[in-house]
Every structure is written in C-alpha cells, then in structure tokens.
Chains A and B, each alone.
Chain A
C-alpha cells in the first residue's frame, strides 16, 4: 500500500462521510473529521517525500496504477498515480497548507448553519487537488482539475443567498470553462500526436532526446497556457479571482491564493518538456505573467477591500510564477509557489481574523488602529506583509529575487517591469497595513447602532471591542508565520543549500530546461537594485498613508475601475452576444424548439381525446372488446392451420 493512495483517499473518505452522514455530523464534529483526515493526508505526503528523497537517482518516478479507466481500442487511459519529485512537492505543500486552513476554518465558520457543507467541499477540494497533482496522465489530471473548479464554484457561492456571491461563483465557473476548453483542445492535440495521455508516453521521450515540431509544440503549449490562465487567473481570464473573494475567507486563502490557483503553474511545470520546443510559447507565458502582474498591481494600489487587495496581489504573484516559467526557470516558479502559499495564506487568514473581529467589515477605510486590539493578528499580518513585499531575509525576498534573476536572463525589459511590480507590491501592501492597523480607529465612527450590534452579538460576531480569534484560528497563523519567515531556506542560492533545486532536478533535466549561468557580480547587482526599489516602495507607502487620510491623487479612477477591463469585456460580450442570444431565445427556441415540443404534446393530447371515446364506461362494451380479441386470436389460429 503506497502512501500516495492514502494521501488521496483520506480526503475522499472525509467527503463521503460528510455526504453520507450530513444529518448526524454537525458542528464541530464534521470539521474535526475533515481536519484529522487532512492531517492524515499530510502525514502520507511527508512519508512520500521521505521515500522520494531516499530513492536512487534514475528511479525517482514511480507509477501506481489503480485501474483501467477508458480502454478504447488503442487509447488506454488509466486511473493511476505518479509519484515523482514534482508531484510529491505539490502534494506536500497542498496538504500541509490545507490542513492548517481546515483547522482555521473550524473557528472561522463557527455558528454557520451550513457548517458541514463547508467542510464537505473542503474535503472534496483536497481530494481533487491531490488527484490533480498525483495523476499519472493528463486526462485523469483534468478530472482533478474540474473537481477543484467545482469545489471553487461551490465555495465562492457558499453564501449563495447573497446575490453577489452567487454571481461571483457563476463568473468564476464560466471563466474557468474558457480555460478548460483550452485544456481540452490540448488533450485532443495530445491524443492526435502521441496517442496517449500518460506522462510517461507523452513527456518521457521528450526528456530523453525525442523532439517535437515547433509549430505543434506552440499550438499545444498555447492551449495548455489557456487552460492554465483560466485556473490560475491570468490575463485575460483573471477577472473572476477578485470577485471570488465573496467566498468565506479560508476559501480565499486556501483555494484562491495558496493551492488551486497554482494548478496552472503545476500544469506548465509538468509540461516543461513541451514548452521547451516552442520559444514562442515561452515568450507568451512570460508576457502573460508580467502583464497580469503589472495590471493587477496597479489596480491593487487603489482597491479598498481588504481581501480584494490581496486577491490582486495573488494575481501579481502568480504572474511572477508564470514569468519564471516563461523564462525557463521552473524551480524558481515552484519556489515562489510554496513561499507564496505560506505568506499569502497567512495574509488572508489574518485578514479573515480582522473581518471576523469587525463583524464582516471589509472596507479598509472603515478600519484603522487595529494593532492595539488585535496584537496577534497584527503580528501575523505584518510578517506576511514583509514577506510579500520581499523584505530580506524573509521567504518572499528569496523567491522574488530568484524569479527576477530568471527574468533578467530572459530579457532586461521583463526584469525592469518585474522590479517595478515588486515596488508597487511593497507600496500597496504598506498602504493596506497603514490603513488597517495604524492611524485612528475609524471603525468606531461606523459602529452599528446598539440594536444591530445586539443582532451581531447573537451571531457570535462584533460583540464589544474587537479581539483576537480562538486558538483554532491562531495556531495556523503562527505556523504559517514561521513558514513565511524562514520558508526561504528550502532553496538558498549559495553554499549548496538549494535543496529544492536539487530535489526537483530529475523532473527538469537540462535536456529540456537548460541552466542559465549568471555571473555572481550580475546577481549581486540585480539583487541590490531590486531590493532598493522594494524598500523605496515600502517607505513611500508608509509615508503616504500613515495618517489614514484619503488621497484621491494616488487613487486614479482608471486603476480603481480595474483599467475598465471588466466593463469592456462586459460590453463586448453583451453587445453582439446578447443579440445572438436574443435571436436564439426568441426565434430558434420559441419558434422551433418550443413549437416542436408543443406540437408533440398537441398530437398526443388530440390522439388521447379521440381515443377516450372508446372508453365508454359500459362494462359490456369492454367485454365485447375482449370477445373481439379472442375471436381475432382464433382467426389467426385457423389461418395458420390453412397456411
């Protein structure tokens, strides 16, 4: 029994238990079951990791079949798991972060009437995510891919009685479908060319000398990129992620920051051998990443919702990961993925604690001065802030610098924009910290009336002064804060301490991911320049927003409206598409489909109306019918005699 099975089966068991026992398993038992099984899954992942480290070079990949899924002629698709450094790496941090956030959710979701449903989705999500990263073929992976998409939909719309949440869920779902079309087209191309979906059949040969035509590689790579863009919320399919903040905060932390949105990063990293044969795709990936990062960062500078700022920052960070992948440095991308998981989850969870303490207030202009009331939350948020702003020597700094080095190697222009984005990040995070935790306590002005407060107290929120959260919410904060501070040690770029690089080396052999040596002097120069820009942004942000006074000059409406991209898309879609939809609805649907259906019904009803006359209600007439039937049978028998 391989630990990989356990890692996948434990959360599945959790979701099945909650589904089957949804009447009996209420708060808090349902939550604890899921948390326990999440930790089981995490333990299994740790075991996998230890085993993987211990395996001899050249035997790093283990394929575990479960059963044949679609045996169609020569297309054989299996349900199978593949254990290799990349999947183990993802499995490890996904299950780890998930378990912590599950624990946090027990406190955060306390008192919610749909508590078990929430944990059902969480467990199902973890199962799907583990399936996604452990699958041994692209089709099975797509199953997990859709699974996490479904859970994301269900959790964004968890409070579906709020219209905004329901709309946001729909938006996320539809946008993801666009990306999924890309993924599916990529699957068709793959089948057409390789006749298989298995990593060992598709990617294996490419790693060992086989080549791929540039045109085909570009087509395949771009379709995979489209899929990755949908799931990872990259330009142009990024609009759903800020709206996804309508979901509960643990969901924003887990799914829409730490894990699910990195599925696109995983997909591209997995497809590294394909990207290798298409320079165009690499460029497109890098440009998509940097463009998303830049746009998102500028929008974040003017956003006023505590969670939406973080959402835009997530877009930027994932953009950085794409930038690294496009620049041919997958290890840095994954390094950033894991450190980002730590500090962004930390930021979201502390933001959740703030929201929790202020009775669901999310506007940073209605906060301020909270560091005195929420010392622990403040500490956690501050650490996350420093890490995200790439202040040395926190984990964010190491990973950002690694990405920027790769970008510099690819193109100086990419690097310049990247540094600018980093500076912007430091600036808007300073703004958020200043407005939320420093300055005057603006939330006191907007305190609800006593009656409303009483109602809030009945729900368990907003009673008296804001205070720190219970231990189930604090413990994950502390653990993640430690990870955010020291996470950098997993891949230090000197002294042979680049553990992650070494661990992942078998997945990214130099045959498909060439190394790019940079002179030490250059590295130093890049690092110093980047760090300086960061610190300038940081200080500017602190200075500008220290007093908590609105400064309209610094919040241009162009950015505040998200570059008008959302509106633009809405208009573009609403114009011709709405016309077409109207045509379909009124002409085709009503005139053709409905008419057909109505006619069928009409003919049936008419026939019935005529046939009803036979049923006179006179028993003797019915008996006559029976007699006629008997006579018919006899006539048939006699006719047969004659024949």
Chain B
C-alpha cells in the first residue's frame, strides 16, 4: 500500500510539472500539447545530468547526476503522453539501477579519482571529442535536410488513440500499451522474464566469492598469460 501511495504521489507531482500547473487530470488541457517551458525544463535536466556524468571525477557524483538525467527523460515521456513509461523510468532506473550503481561503488570502496594523466592511447580523448562532435553535426544535417532518413517510411501498426477521443488520453495510452504487450508482444514479453531470471543467476554466480569466480584466473593461467606477454615483448 505504501508503494502504491508513493507512486500515486509521484505521478501527481510529475503531472504538476509536466502540465504546467494544471491540476485536474481530466481537464481539456491535458490533451493539449505541452508547451515549450516543460520541454525546455526536461531538456535542461537531461543535458545537465549527462554532462555531469561525463565530466565529474567522483563516481558517486556521476551516479547522482545520472538520476537527474533519468528524471529529465521521465519528464519528456510525460510530455509525450507516455505516462506508464515515465513511471517505470523513475521506478526502475532511478529507483533500482542507480541504487545498484551506488551500492557497488560503496561496496567496493572505489570512490576515488581517476588517474587522468596516464592515458594509454594518447589520442583517445581528442579523437573521442572530435567523433562526438562529428556525429552530432552530421546527424543534425541529415535530420534537417531529410525528415525521414532514419527509416524512410512511416509505420502504422496498432495506432494510438486520438488524443481527443473519449477513450484516448493519458489513461488510454497505458491501456493500449498493456494490450500491445500482452497480445502482440506476448512472446517477447515472456522471454524477458527468462532473461531476468538468467541475469539474476548470472549475478549470483559472478558475485559469489566462496569458490572460484568466473573471470578470475587460476595461478597456472596467470603464469601462462605472463609467459605469453613476455614472449610477445
């Protein structure tokens, strides 16, 4: 019950932000497109968080900035009428994944700074920056010149209800997403459950310390690696 309450409260808060102070979930304004203010706020969150993740030295700070980005993405989701995904975004990403990150950081005690000086491949940083900039500009150019260069065609399967129709709206999207996942995407959905079980088992195996851990090397193997490294040299 407490979880559900918290979810409801979160939902309401998100709506408050996303719909710019309009309270009633059923008012006509809900279907009206969000305005620039919401979009810009979300975008600012996203970019600020992302830059923080990339630039800050301390991994704990990085993780916290990651939360900001994820929060911004959730705002944009609500802006796009994807309410369910917004909620999941907060719960799964901010609530579980980032916590996991922080947990690992704390657990391992590696909250110290990177050694910036010793870069193995000297051109790595400039090339990476150049690459990022290049990709950004090129994709912008492509998007600006042609509207549909990514796919080349429009898809129209399982169309979303019109925002103004009685059954549509924010709640309608959740219902349709549920329908799509449990009918059309039922098999992939069931496969994700298998994937999660496998991942859990894998995590247990990997993190177990009593026996030899996969990825660790026996003393003979280490000796062999050492030897081959010397030979290569």
Name A residues whose Cβ lies closer than 8 Å to a Cβ of B.
616, 618, 620-621, 624, 627-628, 630-631, 634-635, 637-638, 641
- Measured CB to CB, the nearest residue on chain B to A626 is B131
Q: State whether B120 touches A635 (Cβ < 8 A).
A: no
A–B Cβ pairs within 8 angstroms, 14 of them: A616-B121, A620-B121, A620-B124, A624-B121, A624-B124, A624-B127, A624-B128, A631-B134, A631-B138, A634-B135, A637-B142, A637-B149, A638-B141, A638-B142
Q: State whether A634 touches B138 (Cβ < 8 A).
A: yes
Q: State whether A631 touches B131 (Cβ < 8 A).
A: yes
B145 within 8 A of partner (CB): yes
Q: List, in ascending order, chain A residues with CB within 8 A of B124's CB.
A: 620-621, 624
User: Complex formed: what's the CA distance from A630 to B121 in Å?
Assistant: 20
Name B residues whose Cβ lies closer than 8 Å to a Cβ of A.
120-121, 124, 127-128, 131-132, 134-135, 138-139, 141-142, 145-146, 149
User: Complex formed: what's the CA distance from A638 to B134 in Å?
Assistant: 12
CB distance from B104 to the nearest CB of A (A): 18
Q: State whether A621 touches B131 (Cβ < 8 A).
A: no
Q: State whether B121 touches A618 (Cβ < 8 A).
A: yes
User: Complex formed: what's the CA distance from A628 to B149 in Å?
Assistant: 20
Count A/B pairs, Cβ under 8 Å: 40
CB distance from A627 to the nearest CB of B (A): 5
Q: Which of B131, B138, B145 contacts A624 (CB 8 A)?
A: B131
Q: State whether B146 touches A641 (Cβ < 8 A).
A: yes
User: Complex formed: what's the CA distance from A641 to B145 in Å?
Assistant: 8
Q: List, in ascending order, chain B residues with CB within 8 A of A618's CB.
A: 120-121
Q: List, in ascending order, chain A residues with CB within 8 A of B141's CB.
A: 638, 641
Q: List, in ascending order, chain B residues with CB within 8 A of A628's CB.
A: 131
Q: List, in ascending order, chain B residues with CB within 8 A of A621's CB.
A: 120-121, 124
Q: List, in ascending order, chain B residues with CB within 8 A of A637's CB.
A: 138, 142, 149
Decide if the interface of chain A is mainly helix, strand, loop or mixed: helix
User: Complex formed: what's the CA distance from A618 to B146 in Å?
Assistant: 37
CB distance from A637 to the nearest CB of B (A): 6
Q: List, in ascending order, chain B residues with CB within 8 A of A620's CB.
A: 121, 124
User: Complex formed: what's the CA distance from A274 to B132 in Å?
Assistant: 86
CB distance from A331 to the nearest CB of B (A): 80
User: Complex formed: what's the CA distance from A638 to B120 in Å?
Assistant: 33
Q: State whether B139 touches A634 (Cβ < 8 A).
A: yes
What 16 new A-B contacts, CB under 8 Å, besides A624-B124, A634-B138? A616-B120, A621-B120, A621-B121, A624-B121, A624-B127, A624-B128, A624-B131, A627-B132, A627-B135, A631-B131, A631-B134, A631-B138, A634-B134, A634-B135, A638-B138, A638-B141
CB distance from B192 to the nearest CB of A (A): 26
CB distance from A624 to the nearest CB of B (A): 6
Knowing A616-B120, A621-B124, say if A641 contacts B142 (CB, 8 Å). Answer: yes
- Measured CB to CB, the nearest residue on chain A to B141 is A638
CB distance from A87 to the nearest CB of B (A): 66
CB distance from B136 to the nearest CB of A (A): 10
User: Complex formed: what's the CA distance from A637 to B131 in Å?
Assistant: 16
User: Complex formed: what's the CA distance from A621 to B135 in Å?
Assistant: 17
Top-4 shortest CB links A-B:
A634-B138, A627-B131, A631-B134, A621-B121
Q: List, in ascending order, chain A residues with CB within 8 A of B146's CB.
A: 641
CB distance from B87 to the nearest CB of A (A): 33
User: Complex formed: what's the CA distance from A641 to B132 in Å?
Assistant: 21
- Measured CB to CB, the nearest residue on chain A to B149 is A637
CB distance from B129 to the nearest CB of A (A): 11
Q: Which of A616, A624, A631, A641 contacts B135 (CB 8 A)?
A: A631
Q: List, in ascending order, chain B residues with CB within 8 A of A635's CB.
A: 138
- Measured CB to CB, the nearest residue on chain A to B130 is A631
Q: State whether B135 touches A630 (Cβ < 8 A).
A: yes
Q: List, in ascending order, chain A residues with CB within 8 A of B149's CB.
A: 637
CB distance from B24 to the nearest CB of A (A): 46
CB distance from B110 to the nearest CB of A (A): 18
Q: List, in ascending order, chain B residues with CB within 8 A of A634's CB.
A: 134-135, 138-139, 142
Q: Which of B128, B138, B146 has the most CB of A within 10 A?
A: B138
- Measured CB to CB, the nearest residue on chain B to A633 is B138
Q: List, in ascending order, chain B residues with CB within 8 A of A641's CB.
A: 141-142, 145-146
User: Complex formed: what's the CA distance from A2 to B124 in Å?
Assistant: 81
User: Complex formed: what's the CA distance from A571 to B201 in Å?
Assistant: 78
Q: List, in ascending order, chain B residues with CB within 8 A of A624's CB.
A: 121, 124, 127-128, 131
Q: List, in ascending order, chain B residues with CB within 8 A of A627's CB.
A: 128, 131-132, 135
CB distance from B114 to the nearest CB of A (A): 12
Q: List, in ascending order, chain A residues with CB within 8 A of B128's CB.
A: 624, 627
User: Complex formed: what's the CA distance from A426 to B121 in Å?
Assistant: 96
Q: List, in ascending order, chain A residues with CB within 8 A of B142's CB.
A: 634, 637-638, 641
- Measured CB to CB, the nearest residue on chain A to B123 is A624
CB distance from B113 to the nearest CB of A (A): 18
User: Complex formed: what's the CA distance from A635 to B139 in Å?
Assistant: 9
CB distance from B123 to the nearest CB of A (A): 9
User: Complex formed: what's the CA distance from A528 to B124 in Å?
Assistant: 110
Q: List, in ascending order, chain A residues with CB within 8 A of B131's CB.
A: 624, 627-628, 631
- Measured CB to CB, the nearest residue on chain B to A617 is B120
CB distance from B170 to the nearest CB of A (A): 36
User: Complex formed: what's the CA distance from A621 to B124 in Å?
Assistant: 7
CB distance from B152 to the nearest CB of A (A): 12
CB distance from A388 to the nearest CB of B (A): 74
User: Complex formed: what's the CA distance from A628 to B124 in Å?
Assistant: 12
User: Complex formed: what's the CA distance from A627 to B145 in Å?
Assistant: 23
Q: List, in ascending order, chain A residues with CB within 8 A of B132's CB.
A: 627
CB distance from B125 to the nearest CB of A (A): 10
- Measured CB to CB, the nearest residue on chain B to A628 is B131
